[in-house]
Amino acid sequence: MAAVGPRTGPSSGAEALALAAELQGEATCSICLELFREPVSVECGHSFCRSCIARCWERPGTGTTTVPRALPCPLPCPQCREPVRPGQLRPNRQLASVATLLRRFSLPAAAPGEHRPPEAAVAGCVQHGEPLKLYCQDDGRAICVVCDRAREHRAHAVLPLDEAVQEAKELLESRLKVLRKDLEDYEVFRSTEEKESKELLKQMAAEREKVGAEFQALRAFLVEQEGRLLGRLEELSREVTQKQNENIAQLEGEITQLSKLSSQIQETSRKPDLDFLQEFKNTLSRCSNVPGPKPTTVSSEMKNKVWNVSLKTFVLKGLLKKFKEDLRGELEKEEKDKQRPLLGTGLVCRGQAKQEEIEDRKGGVSYYCRALGGADLGPRHCQPPPHPLSGS
């Protein structure tokens, strides 16, 4: 160990730096990533700073450590995870001497009494032993001032490490704002979806009441048509409900994904600089792959189906009204005919005409659809419900 000093190293400056970097790696604590301070060895052969191993074996929530010899249970080695006995810590004086020589050689040391925790430690350049204070944007990694002057990075875009971190954080923050805006849009879309679905379900309930009211007067005559129309309304209600559940589930899935991605971005932003720079590009890539929000509302096809049912209800109402008016008129004529002393053959002809009309009516809805198109219905019969997509 006596040969390792500031004046007795190799003749070449580069070789001396390489040797210093290699020795620094051997004399660096794997927990705090700094030169050893009061190094101790555990049973598996690994060495750590006494304060670092004490922090690793600290009991959570108590502030006390499990290093005392009185504790019989083995604990895992922080490096290889093999079980070791805390009471068998041995001071490693040779490593302490090497660390002291390296501090005197040329490497930066912490202030007296200061032993930085692992998250505050800054790794050095493996090739030159200098602190990593710069960031090469072309290679995407941290470098030292010696690397910056080398031919490899001479033509590259290099920034101070803190500026690179700040730029990366600003970029992630801008993406985070976009994600937050997307989340707000998704919330609006979900609210709109729920509102429109409720309105459609209310409309279905109202249509059921209308259908029941229209069929009540002549239920025996229209029982088959009533059941068919009510069945269609039930089917549409199930379709609307199913579509609503599917759309809301999709929106909630997107919201969950965006919320998770936002949490990952915030977690990445809180990491140490080197870890942050290693992960922020992957995080940024995941942000770029997130599709923008797309509104998922009840489809126009579904609205057309609902409107078609409403139109059928309107037609049915007109048909029933026209039928009742015709029936009332025919009954009144019949009452007048009963008051006549002699009916003659005209009644037979008129009855035959009415019978033919009744036979035409038995042809189904087509007769009343043609009747609804006639001028005899008047304007009060010819105002269909507004189409949901017409904007009126």
* Segment 367-379, tens digit of pLDDT: 444 444 443 444 4
**213 and 68 in a common domain:** no
How many other CB atoms are found less than 10 A from the CB of residue 361? 15
**192 and 105 in a common domain:** no
pLDDT tens column, 37-77: 899 999 888 899 998 888 888 755 444 444 544 455 688 88
How much is the pLDDT for 106?
A: 45
| Residue with the larger pLDDT of the pair 233 and 342 | 233
Is the pLDDT at 239 greater than 90? The verdict is no
Q: What is the mean pLDDT of residues 296-320?
A: 77
Do 197 and 244 contact (CB within 8 A), yes or no? yes
How much is the pLDDT for 39?
A: 92
**64 and 183 in a common domain:** no
Spatial separation of the C-alpha atoms in residues 319 and 218, rounded to whole Å: 12
How much is the pLDDT for 6?
A: 44
Please check whether residue 96 lies inside any domain of the structure: yes
Please check whether residue 128 lies inside any domain of the structure: no
Q: What is the mean pLDDT of residues 13-26?
A: 68
Spatial separation of the C-alpha atoms in residues 293 and 186, rounded to whole Å: 6
Which of 119, 146, 161 is where one domain is finished? 119
Is the pLDDT at 134 greater than 50? The verdict is yes
| Residue with the larger pLDDT of the pair 174 and 101 | 174
- Predicted confidence band of residue 22 (pLDDT cuts 50, 70, 90): confident
* 0.85 surpassed by pTM: no
For residue 210, give both structure tokens.
């209308």
Please check whether residue 71 lies inside any domain of the structure: yes
Spatial separation of the C-alpha atoms in residues 376 and 156, rounded to whole Å: 88
Count, in order, helices (H) and strands (E) of the chain.
Answer: 10, 8
- Predicted confidence band of residue 341 (pLDDT cuts 50, 70, 90): low
How much is the pLDDT for 208?
A: 85
Q: What is the mean pLDDT of residues 260-273?
A: 83
How many other CB atoms are found less than 10 A from the CB of residue 223? 11
**180 and 66 in a common domain:** no
| Residue with the larger pLDDT of the pair 366 and 187 | 187
**What b/e string do you get for 123-158 counting C-beta neighbours within 10 Å, with b at 16 or more?**
ebbeebbbbbebbbeeeeebbbeebbeeeebeeeeb
For residue 119, give both structure tokens.
């998250």
Q: Measured between alpha carbons, how far is residue 352 from residues 339, 342, 356, 359 in Å? A: 20, 18, 6, 10
Please check whether residue 336 lies inside any domain of the structure: no
**327 and 211 in a common domain:** yes
Weakest mean pLDDT among 111-125, 149-163, 196-210, 248-262: 111-125
Give the CATH number for residue 55.
3.30.40.10
Q: Measured between alpha carbons, how far is residue 81 from residues 43, 64, 84, 121, 193 in Å? A: 12, 21, 9, 22, 53
How much is the pLDDT for 16?
A: 60
| Residue with the larger pLDDT of the pair 380 and 256 | 256
Q: What is the mean pLDDT of residues 101-114?
A: 52
**192 and 86 in a common domain:** no
**113 and 191 in a common domain:** no
Q: Rounded to a whole number, what is the distance in angstroms from the first to the last CA of the chain?
A: 93
12-26, 127-141, 213-227 — which one is most confidently predicted on average? 127-141
H or E, element range at 228: helix 219-269
Per the prediction, the chain carries an average pLDDT of: 73
How much is the pLDDT for 17?
A: 61
**183 and 323 in a common domain:** yes
How much is the pLDDT for 384?
A: 61
Q: Cα angle vertex 182, ends 179, 188, to 5°?
A: 150
Please check whether residue 169 lies inside any domain of the structure: no
Locus of tokens 């929530």: 61
pLDDT tens column, 200-211: 899 889 888 887
**321 and 185 in a common domain:** yes
How much is the pLDDT for 184?
A: 92
Q: DSSP per residue over 49-64, as a string?
A: EHHHHHHHTBPTTT--
How much is the pLDDT for 45?
A: 87
51-65, 165-179, 280-294, 359-373 — which one is most confidently predicted on average? 165-179
- Predicted confidence band of residue 122 (pLDDT cuts 50, 70, 90): very low
Please check whether residue 231 lies inside any domain of the structure: yes
Spatial separation of the C-alpha atoms in residues 88 and 159, rounded to whole Å: 47
**2 and 91 in a common domain:** yes
Tell me how many domains the chain contains. 2
Question: Domain containing 218: what range?
Answer: 176-331
Please check whether residue 58 lies inside any domain of the structure: yes
**102 and 1 in a common domain:** yes
Q: What is the mean pLDDT of residues 22-31?
A: 81
**191 and 326 in a common domain:** yes
Please check whether residue 375 lies inside any domain of the structure: no
